[in-house]
Amino acid sequence: MTALVARRRTAMRAIVLDRALESLPVFRLSDSADDSAISFTPEGGGRWRVLPNPGDRLPGTFDQDVYVELLHRYQEEGMPDDGVITFTLHAFLRSMGRRVDGRTYEQLRSALARLERTTLESNGVYYAAPAGAPLDGSFTILTSVAIDRRRSADRDQLALFASLSAAEPGDARVTLSPVLRANIGAEYTASLSAPHYRALSSPVARRLYRLLAVAREEGNTTWHLPLERLAEQLPLTQRYPSHLQRVLQPAHDMLVEHGIVQGAVVRQQQRQWEVEYVLTDHHG
């Protein structure tokens, strides 16, 4: 019984993600003020767009971490058929390793709203595993978000107890998109190690880890691609090779340090710049 529990806990350290979504750009990784739609055209053709809700910005670095934690909780809750995940904001932030205060509560509420309202549009790009074909249509990561803020009377009572003074200001109930759930259910997935993901302090390293998990799942021991293509897939707003290398080098060092890759090299091949990753056997 003890061995079974240990194996189960080890399994829960893995975060299972939708492989089709992991290979596409969704979260902005730059502090640039440019909030226009993300547009990406894979080598095979078609078009992928990420469209912000009017009046809001694109999902960013904090939203990326919220998305990964949501998928982690979806798995921990046994992948419910209705896709509903429930949690307190306080516990969610603690699990993410974030400071719990008024600012991060507001960040989390905003991130959940963006994941519900940001439109992901696929024209023959997002691979829908159950159908076995690329999707023509649009969807959102979350289909519903409800946050029950505790009544003011309850909050007044909390102040009477020192141990509860920082208690949760609300309970969240969110529903994960059936599009993502279908791919996960069909085991068209890529997985991350929760401790490794959290150990990467750079948003760019975290995004690279997600892309490398797809490459590993597809049986690659090395992964190489044009530097310009990688910049579009992450996505990064920088375009000059020297600027891209300055952004990527700290993330590469971090991935090597944590054993996620054996090496990461940016080199010029004739007139084109390429990046090559040598993957490790690390699976979480």
235 upstream amide cis, omega within 30 of 0: yes
R_g over Cα of the chain: 20
Place of tokens 């509860």: 164
Low-confidence ranges of the chain (pLDDT < 70): 1-12, 31-35, 150-169, 282-284
**142: closest CA among 191, 108, 96, 103?**
108
Reported CATH class of domain 199-284: mainly alpha
Residue 94: Cβ within 10 Å count = 12
Helix (H, G, I), strand (E, B) or coil at 24: coil
pLDDT at 270: 85
Could you tell me where the DSSP H helices lie in the chain? Answer: 2-12, 19-22, 61-76, 89-96, 102-117, 152-158, 178-185, 194-199, 203-217, 227-233, 241-257
pLDDT at 36: 83
Q: Per-domain residue ranges for the chain? A: 14-192, 199-284
Q: What is the pTM of this model?
A: 0.88
Residue 64 is which amino acid?
A: Q
Burial of 44 (0-12, 13-18, 19+ CB in 10 A): exposed
pLDDT at 47: 98
DSSP-derived secondary structure for 92-132: HHHHHT---SHHHHHHHHHHHHHHHH-EEEEEEEEEETTTT
pLDDT at 33: 54
pLDDT at 31: 58
